[in-house]
Amino acid sequence: MKIGIIVYSQTGNTYETARRLKERLEKDSRIVKLEQVTSIGKTPANIAAIKFDNLPKVEPYDLIVFAAPVQAFTLALVMKAYLEQIQSLQGKKVACFVTKRLASKWTGGNNAVNTMAKICAAKGASIIGRGIVVWAGRKRQQSIATCLDSLTNIISKTPRA
Ligand SMILES: Cc1cc2nc3c(=O)[nH]c(=O)nc-3n(C[C@H](O)[C@H](O)[C@H](O)COP(=O)(O)O)c2cc1C
């Protein structure tokens, strides 16, 4: 099972979490590639106008973890635009996680991660896991650990070959 982690990160938090997930999966003897979605310039409100600098391909992977920040109570628009331009995720297993600053419930975490899962499922993916990391406050490390434990556990049950 070829695993890719495809991350969009504006200020580094989601990338750092994704890097730690890669480390954890590698400890479980998985081969994992971490790739970044990047865009050019300021993000326009119209997602059709977003210009990508790096657009990772999904075809090489059997299992993909997509990761992005919550922005303005929803999924970061660059990740939304990236997911929407993917042609097909048929036959692929997908897990999604988001990072966010605010701990309270109605600040976009569920909305963002469910949006990711919905777009991926509509393209044929089988959704195997979701996670939300809360960055602010004393519980940050605990929140990262909970998300990584959950995703590592789910992925560890998928076939290696
Ligand atoms: C433009 C913008 C909007 C944001 N909106 C939210 C929000 O609605 N809810 C929230 O909890 N955090 C929000 N945040 C905080 C980010 O989600 C949080 O810092 C995240 O971990 C950043 O990830 P990154 O470093 O990978 O970009 C926002 C950050 C930015 C820059």
pLDDT, tens digit only, all 161 positions of the chain: 999 999 999 999 999 999 999 999 999 999 999 999 999 999 999 999 999 999 999 999 999 999 999 999 999 999 999 999 999 999 999 999 999 999 988 899 999 999 999 999 999 999 999 999 999 999 999 999 999 999 999 999 999 87
Nearest-atom index, ligand 1, CA of 70: 17
pTM of the model: 0.98
Residue 104 lies in a domain: yes
Residue 65 lies in a domain: yes
Residues in the chain: 161
Residue 101 Cα to ligand 1 middle (Å)? 6
Residue 100 Cα to ligand 1 middle (Å)? 5
Give the C-alpha separation, 20 to 15, whole Å.
Answer: 9
Domain of 38: which CATH number? 3.40.50.360
Please, what sign has the CA dihedral across residues 137, 104, 13, 51?
negative
Residue 67 Cα to ligand 1 middle (Å)? 13
Residue 17 Cβ contacting ligand 1 at under 6 Å: no
Note the pLDDT of residue 63. 98
Residue 161 lies in a domain: no
Name the residue of 70, 98, 134, 147 whose CB sits within 8 Å of the most ligand 1 atoms, as the mutation to test its pocket.
70
Residue 124 lies in a domain: yes
Note the pLDDT of residue 105. 86
Note the pLDDT of residue 106. 87
Nearest-atom index, ligand 1, CA of 14: 26
Q: What are phi and psi of 61, to 5 degrees?
A: -110, 150
Residue 71 Cβ contacting ligand 1 at under 6 Å: yes
Residue 98 Cα to ligand 1 middle (Å)? 10
Q: Which domain holds residue 107?
A: 3-156
Domain count across the chain: 1
